[in-house]
Structure 1
Amino acid sequence: MTKPVLIGALFLSGIVSCWAQTGNPPPQGTNVPPVGNVQIGTCLESTCREAPVRENLSAIDLHLKYMRGILGGFRQGAGLGGGVQFTSANAIRHVELRATALVTTRLYQRYDLEAFAHDILDSRNTADVWFSYLYRREDNFFGIGPRIPQTLETNFALQQRSYQGTFTRDFTDHIQAGLYAQIANARAYRGKDKNDTPIDEIFSPVPEPTPVLWAPGLLSNAKIVSYGAFFEYDARDNSSGLTRGANVYGRIASADGLKNHDAFADYGWNEAELDGRLYIPLGSNKTSLALRARGSFKDPKGGSQIPFYALSWLGGHEYVRGYRTYRFRGNNSLLFSTELRQTVYAKTEQRGVDLVGFADTGQVWGDARSKTDPVILKNNDFSKSNWHSGVGGGIQYRHSKNIAARVEVGRSNERTLVYVSLSRGF
Structure 2
Amino acid sequence: MMNPQVGQDSVSTALVPAIGYSSNEGLLGGLIYSRYDYRGNVAPFNNLFESSAIATTKGFVEVEATYEQTKTFGRDLRSIANFYFYRYTQDQFFGIGNETTFSDQQWDNEYYFFRSIGFSFDYRFRKPIYEQGRSQLDLQFGAATEYHIPYVRQQQSSFVQAMPVGSDGGWTNNINTGLVWENRNSEFDPRRGNRLELELRGAPNLISNYGLATARLELRQYFYLFNFLTVANRFEARHAEGDIPYWEMSTLGNKNTLRGYPLNRFKGNTSVAYTLELRTWLLKFPDFYGLKFGGQLFTDTGRVFTETDDANDLFERYHQTVGFGGAMSILNPDFILRGEMGFSEDVTRIYIGVGYMF
1:413, distance to aligned residue in structure 2 (A)? 1.9
- Correspondence 1:331 to 2:285: no
The structure richer in helix per residue is 1
1:396 to 315, 322, 327: 327
Q: Give distance in 2, aligned partners of 1:200 and 1:226.
A: 37
1:245 to 192, 196, 200: 192
TM-score normalised by structure 1 residue count: 0.61
- Correspondence 1:344 to 2:294: no
- Correspondence 1:418 to 2:350: yes
1:60-139 alignment runs, 5 A limit: 61-62=12-13, 82-83=32-33, 103-105=53-55, 107-110=61-64, 117-120=72-75, 125-126=76-77, 128=79, 134-138=84-88, 139=91
Q: Give distance in 2, aligned partners of 1:408 and 1:243.
A: 19
Q: Give distance in 2, aligned partners of 1:79 and 1:147.
A: 36
Task: Provide, for residues 212-246 of structure 1, a one-character-per-residue CA deviation record: whole Å limited to 9, x for no partner.
Answer: x242222232232222122130413489xx74112
1:180 to 141, 157, 166: 141
Q: Give distance in 2, aligned partners of 1:238 and 1:126.
A: 17
Task: Provide, for residues 93-124 of structure 1, a one-character-per-residue CA deviation record: whole Å limited to 9, x for no partner.
Answer: xxx9999975235531357899972442xxxx
1:354-373 alignment runs, 5 A limit: 354-367=294-307
Per the alignment, do residues 112 and 418 of structure 1 end up closer, same or farther by CA in structure 2, a change over 3 Å counting?
closer
SS at match of 2:247: helix
Q: Give distance in 2, aligned partners of 1:384 and 1:337.
A: 16
For these two proteins, the number of residue pairs brought into alignment is 317
Q: Give distance in 1, aligned partners of 2:276 and 2:80.
A: 36
Query: RMSD of the TM alignment (CA)?
Result: 4.1
Q: Give distance in 1, aligned partners of 2:357 and 2:126.
A: 28
SS at match of 2:258: coil
Task: Provide, for residues 318-377 of structure 1, a one-character-per-residue CA deviation record: whole Å limited to 9, x for no partner.
Answer: 21222123211222221222223343312129642223222221111135xxxxxxxxx2
Q: Give distance in 2, aligned partners of 1:396 and 1:97.
A: 23
Q: Give distance in 1, aligned partners of 2:233 and 2:31.
A: 26
2:168 to 219, 238, 247: 219
1:418, distance to aligned residue in structure 2 (A)? 3.0
Q: Give distance in 2, aligned partners of 1:148 and 1:134.
A: 28
What residue in structure 2 maps to residue 37 of structure 1? none
The structure richer in strand per residue is 2
Code of the aligned partner of 2:93: F
Per the alignment, do residues 229 and 156 of structure 1 end up closer, same or farther by CA in structure 2, a change over 3 Å counting?
farther
What residue in structure 2 maps to residue 290 of structure 1? 232
8 Å Cα contact 2:113/2:157 also seen in 1: no
Per the alignment, do residues 225 and 275 of structure 1 end up closer, same or farther by CA in structure 2, a change over 3 Å counting?
same
Percent of residue pairs identical? 15
What residue in structure 1 maps to residue 159 of structure 2? 203
Q: Give distance in 1, aligned partners of 2:146 and 2:273.
A: 29
- Correspondence 1:149 to 2:96: no
Per the alignment, do residues 236 and 200 of structure 1 end up closer, same or farther by CA in structure 2, a change over 3 Å counting?
farther
Code of the aligned partner of 1:179: Q
8 Å Cα contact 1:225/1:258 also seen in 2: no
What residue in structure 2 maps to residue 25 of structure 1? none
1:225-264 alignment runs, 5 A limit: 225-237=174-186, 243-259=190-206
Q: Give distance in 1, aligned partners of 2:252 and 2:29.
A: 17
Per the alignment, do residues 413 and 111 of structure 1 end up closer, same or farther by CA in structure 2, a change over 3 Å counting?
closer
TM-score normalised by structure 2 residue count: 0.71
SS at match of 1:142: coil
Higher relative contact order (CA 8 A, sep 6+): 1
Q: Give distance in 2, aligned partners of 1:79 and 1:333.
A: 34
Q: Give distance in 2, aligned partners of 1:355 and 1:187.
A: 36
Structure 1 unaligned segments of length 5 or more: list them. 1-30, 35-59, 63-67, 72-77, 91-95, 192-196, 205-209, 368-376
Q: Give distance in 1, aligned partners of 2:48 and 2:186.
A: 28
